[in-house]
Structure 1
Amino acid sequence: MKGGRRGVGPSPGQQEPTSFPAVSATQTKEEVLLDMRAIGAELGWLTWPLDQGEKPGWEVIQRTLNGSQLYTYSVCNVGEREQDNWLRTTFIQRRPAASRVFVELQFIVRDCNSFDASSLTCKETFNLFTSESDADVGTTFRKGQFKKVATIAPDEITSKGEMRINTETRVVENLSRKGFYLAFQDIGACVALISTRVYYKTCPATVKSLASFPETVAGGENQALREVSGACVDNAVSEELPRIYCTVDGEWVVPVGQCQCKPGYEEVKDACQECQPGFFKAVASGDKCELCPANTQRLGSGALFCPCTDGFYRAPTDPSTGPCSGLPSAPRDLVATTTQLSAGKLLLTWGPPEDTGGRIDITYNIECQRCEGIVCQPCGEKIRYEPASTGLTDTKVSVSELDAHLNYTFIVEAHSGVSRFASQATPRSSRPPSTSALTTSLHYTDPPKITAMRLVERTSTSLSLSWDVSSRPRVRSIRYELTYRKKDDNLDVTTYVVLLLEKNFVQISDLAPGTAYLFRVQALGSDGSPGGSSIEEQFETSSEGRLTQNNPAVIFGAAVGGAAMLFIVVVILFLCRRRRNSNSRQGPEDTYFSSSEQLKPLKTYVDPHTYEDPNVAVLKFATEIHPSHITKQKVIGAGEFGEVYRGILKVPARKEVAVAIKTLKPGYTEKQRQDFLSEASIMGQFSHQNIIRLEGVVTKCKDFFKHAMIVTEYMENGALDRYLKDHDGEFPSFQLVGMLRGIAAGMKYLSDMSYVHRDLAARNILVNNTLECKVSDFGLSRVLEDEPEGTYTTSGGKIPIRWTAPEAIAYRKFTSASDVWSFGIVMWEVMAFGERPYWDMSNHEVMKAINEAFRLPAPMDCPSTVYQLMLQCWLQDRSKRPRFGDIVNLLDKLLRSPDSLKTIADFDPRISIRLPSTSGSDGSPFRSVSEWLESIKMSQYSENFACAGVVTMDHVLQMKNEDIKNIGVRLPGHLKRIAYSILGLKDQTSTLSVFAV
């Protein structure tokens, strides 16, 4: 081992830099563990191997920049074979809880094409490793202790006469020991390492919703959201313990258990302060202190309530925070109006009090007294009030059953909710100011009543009747009103005959023989008002002399009606028969053109970005949901705009359903809100079983703590790529093809609507509990033009390189054909159980490989027909790729014929396990069992191999399937991956050239 220092110039092909690119500013707090630039002294890093002879490995170079010493490391042995040069940092102590650190590298890589032809082994990448330890091991160095983090590839390479500095950041996860080392492995590149900065992220100490939270180290991959408990600030309380989540990016999200200021305190700049004099606050809440209401006393600072002043009160139902009320004044303008003197009735009316005391719950009570001479007494229960005598809300009442020639005094009292608090010691004779009194008299003649009615004489055409009368001494003259009618239930119209009589008997002639009649007699008062009525009586004329007569007009009418009904029946039968004959002559073309389904126009997607006001698009395409219908249950992730919850949607008259709730975090701008809701405007136009369903949006809530939300159906199994990784090898090909068929059907629906997705990938496919797949995430989506080959063109924006068609990468031209290319990548992800497309190749390597006609190899156990469809999706000429309708038809055909899936595509493990970062220089065999297992993503079995004594690659090449099972590999997918890899390694010893791309 050695730690060298040489004051030499730049490596070959490099120029002395005059400045370095600045690190971009970020709001996340970063705690730096190592900063290569900031050291400004001998670094003391170790290089290996110790003896390099004339071909040194990593070399330290001292430079001066702005008067400061700067140390960098470089290596450039591009003309030599079998390069394996290591550079190790000093011991980096890890802070407690910092299980995830970031390594930011700035470096230069020389273009291999800039060297002469003798540099055949030149590389353009180098590797980053890490090793944990509880103590500094000094100069001890063993490669086997290091674990690979990533292959570092440049985005820009340096040619002669120019220098291009790359900046890459990698994450080291799951650190648990007291410290660690970083190591850089060169396998034949020309590299200059300019800067290395190691840091971890923290969520800074903060106060949110009146709860203080300490500085917290950001979580790692296994703990994306780290829950942190807080404490309420002074004079604040909370029903539940305040909590918040710290994301892996060092941001606070999802505060839970909001603190509120105590009674008598209000929130002022993240603190609780006492209410000012004259203000109060009754309960713990987020509200401000309120000014004492009307008719209350104003207390000092920190008041919990404001008591009423003298003469004002609060009713038991009044809030303690409301104003105090006084007693109402007396009702105004009390008037008595005679309505029916003969019936002893009066109508009392009055006006409402001039002063209601500040209340609206005014009611009225009526009290009646009758006076004979100078003696007055209560009217008693005889008097009737309509509608009632107490609790009246209207300003009138009808009083009946009054006696004539008496004086009555009526007292009307106005009451309110605080009337009970008036001085109850006041004598009844001394009435409060809320009463009005009126004295009135009635003078009328009480009409007599009919007591009995009898039949005196009858004939076939006449009846003689008389009746008895209950008379009073004051009655001078009585008249009677007689009403009679024929009793005939078969007639719709009844004719009444009314007679006014001066005597209590009558003879009625011209009646029908043998017919019953109903009679009623009523006595009338002197003023014409009606009195009591008699019981309705029935009397019948005798049947003697009754004749049966046939009416010719009736007979003729019946005959005409019967003939008309017969004619109508004949016409209806004729029309029905003619319609059947017409239908039997209708041709196929008639059926087609009469079908409403055939004439239905094709629905076309409308881009919400074309609306001048995006809010109009939201209202048009999405349903507004009231926030009270939504219950958040658990945070399940963090999106671009805020947190994502699992929750419940309960709309009246609908069944309760589970939903996913996307929220808009606080502090958003109007543009962010519009961008957030634009996804809902897009989703709201789709209705297909393989497209994620939009339940609605929340946009109209004004509460600060209730933000805009997008509510979609809840997919229990989450993203497809993660679900497949967790169930590697558990599903047969037939079931995987069924999943692909659902995705293709959803994409066909979108394509038919002239719509392109742009970000179709397994991570954007959601899976429910029945394994039904649905397309989601419409953040990058755009509308196509009307013509089938319409495109969406953009000059910038992020593009998912591994899933994007070549023409979309090169020219930013997106079509349904580019979505078909992406679907082919999704097919590969599904058949490979969520494996990353192109493994850990850099984006630069992926684009270069695709342009050189490289295509992903068939996954293990992939049916040949499915892989052939993938290759069709990846045709360079987009016009030759299949359409989604063709893809759906082909997948349906495969599902109808399961035998077509039995032929497996050729699997070449030499290509599938080819990872430039883990294989030896020029494709040489792996140096260790752990290195080989890592290359095929099976490093979790390293300990199994070691315990079984399989410690060299020679031992691996001798293993059989039974040996793999015996060391503890049980999952079918893992077993196949290891077995196929061993087959590839065996063939690799004789055919190394296959690894060249």
Structure 2
Amino acid sequence: IVSERISFCLNILPLFFSFKESLKSLFLCASNSVNLFVFQWEIVQTVVNGSPLYTYSVCNVDSSDQDNWLRTTFIQRRSGASRVSVELQFVVRDCNTFGSSSVACKETFNLFLAEADADVGTNFRKGQFRKVATIAPDEITQGNVLKVNTETKTVGSLSKKGFYLAFQDMGACVALLSARVYYKTCPSTVQSLAVFPETVADSLREVEGVCVENAIGQATPRIYCSAEGDWVVPVGQCQCLPGYETTGDSCQECKPGYFKSSVSLASCQVCPRNTKPSSAGASECQCEDGFFRSPSDPPTSPSPPSAPRDLTATTLSGEGRLLLSWSPPLVTGHRPDLTYSVACSICDGTACSTCGERIRFETDPAELRETNIIVSDLDSHLNYTFTVEAHSGVSQFDPERASATVTAALDYTDPPKVTSIHLEKSGPTSLSLSWSLSRERDVTTYTVRILDKSFVQITDLTPDTPYIFKVQALSPEGTPGSFSTEHEFHTSPLAEPQIQNNSTAVLGAVVGVAVILLAVLAFVVLRRRLVTAHFTSTVNPLQAYVDPHTYEDPNIAIQKFVTEIDPNAIAKHKVIGVGEFGEVFRGVMKTQGRGEVTVAIKTLKPGYSEKQRQDFLSEASIMGQFSHPNIIHLEGVVTKFKHAMIVTEYMENGALDTYLKDHDGEMSPYQLLGMLRGIAAGMKYLSDMSYVHRDLAARNVLVNSNLECKVSDFGLSRVLEDDAEGTYTTRGGKIPIRWTAPEAIAYRKFTSASDVWSFGIVMWEVMAFGERPYWDMSNHEVMKAINEAFRLPAPMDCPSAIYQLMLQCWQQDRAIRPRFADIVNILDKLLRSPESLKTIADFDPRVSIRLPSTSGGDGTMFRSVTEWLESIKMSQYKESFARAGITTMEQVLALRHEDIRNIGVRLPGHMKRIAYSILGLKDESSSLSVFAV
């Protein structure tokens, strides 16, 4: 009962009686204004503890035709109270206790009501009253212990100014203990930032409210007051004005340094960067000098974008094609209108000019939304400079727009060009020719391998005959480079002795290298006047890998494969990690010709044994045999010094798995595919050298500033033995279960095919932005699942073609898995056809996120939003959710896509992870609501 209005009350003193006269000890407790009109109901006063008490009773059980009435005085009705409740407490005597004299005895009495607009005084007419109910006891008093009954009756549809109650006795032995008359109200309240007044409860009644101070609503807020005095079904919502935020049931102004720009339930936000601190109650923060906001901008976009980051150029298969890709600016102003423009210029060392129509952009370079573009029709003899600039709606206000530019220079777009041909020896029937490959420029992005055996001997020629030659180089995938210029050489006359001719013809300079030569296939074309003959010679530069452990003295392997570095040329600057044998430093190395070069320095911790030293240097003996742009490059070692060191090239972006986690959702599938292509090329190189890595994983792939991926960590690697199967059996070493092929786990045999399996896992890691393979499954669960044909599902937004390649890598039968050469070709085809990446593989969030989204690890409901965010690795947004007032899992279930953005989640990958997790939550809770993603 929320509120009561008591008109009168009757009470009875507990009594013990054995005959009807004792009922006269009943007493009355009432206000002075209330009188009861008594017809045969007797009033008896009894003094108890100095207080007078009154009772009302009637007990005419031995007489028939009883009609005894008790009436109240006039009870005024409050306006709006059309229903009242009457609660009675009474005692009824069992008629059987009166014997034969109780022939007309009854055990019930009646409740009547009469409405009136004025007090009629003592005027009483039974015809004015209508019967409300017959009052029957639940318990009848038989002995000396009183059985007190309580009965409540509701009287409705009252319309006049007041009413009377009356009690009719028809022959019962009854004592009226108390009567309470009241009505219910819904109390004044504040709900949804609206104030609702106290309201008399009747049938379900709609009540209009008023928004609290500093709040408005799109429509008048309403709520319903139920007949039981409860507020139910609020309709409409008031929201705080700009500059005010919700605090309990009121709207409080934003603190200094905070702002809120719109009418909403959101919390005030800290003034964004590059704005001046605001005063209390601010709806926006003014820009600092040098930062701008257009009239149509939200107040969270105070600055133009900064420069795009990580601009890289990647040569594509096909002559003269190049992929430019970059990362979004660090500062975007949180604007939806971010676009990019790409400009091209040709520089010759002294001046630059625009490329004009000499090149072709495959999409419009002026209003780009994507962070990549393909350029074609490039000339391999020219040096191009590409400039990418970010734009937004406030760029026009920024006089320093040039500061948002990143430039990348390309030195090569084709395989290296043959620069000169030499006549080594001539004879009557033969000519011996040699040629050189261009090494005029050293591109930071690539490493050029110059072949030692760049010559060919052509026999069965006609004596004393001129022949014209030109030479062309091919990449490992068969992409042709440019032909050299034509050169004419003579065979010697038959009668003349052979001569030596060292004349050299200098060919046109080649301006850059865009592919790495693993093998060079040279075509020599001869023309004798109008007759043309073709000769082909193949040169294979790859040597079989030599296991340094096969050397009786491991130092011999070090001397043979590794360059010794003067320790005075090495300077360690900063610890960047801890390796198996000691710390890893970033430092510099002084070199001849290149100056100071940034390097990574692996050190051997003090107190090492000789075996540990040999194991430490054996990795250098392995790395020293490799030369490929996608294999970590060994600069050399320091062994003739107290502390041994291994010096490698420095990879600015560190391990691939960590880099992907830090840039979740920031790269397109096309960019990720380019990274995978580099890893596959490096593994093809190792496979061609009969080398098995055994521990290929994203954590063992390093990324440089140009987003090139390079395979590293050869600590677990072993050489393939020369058996028919080409397998290697370990001696009980540790196996990385999540990345290892089933046959390698079961039989400890490793092949290039098992590396292919591992590459499939790396593909999954890359497309899942560093997600842990098989999530939180134990190694035992992983092995069991794989043997039962379970395979990792497609990551979010993974192109179907890439996922199908993963599944091919995970074939149970290793014989039908693709080779790395096949994988490189497949990835090249996908890179040449970006439209093939538009079809997305099916994605199941309940499997891929692996949450029972409504429960924790022990099967219980998530106890908090924080626990849920930690389970999906999004704990960095705990404060954002708290500021938005999202504190319960029920509120999380109610979120939609735009709500997630408003909370402050901006990265696409993070938005999708949270959105798909909520989708899993709703699915598991059997909700049928649609979640818009």
Larger Rg: 1
TM over 0.5: no
**Normalising by the residue count of structure 1, what TM-score does the alignment of the two structures yield?**
0.39
**Normalising by the residue count of structure 2, what TM-score does the alignment of the two structures yield?**
0.42
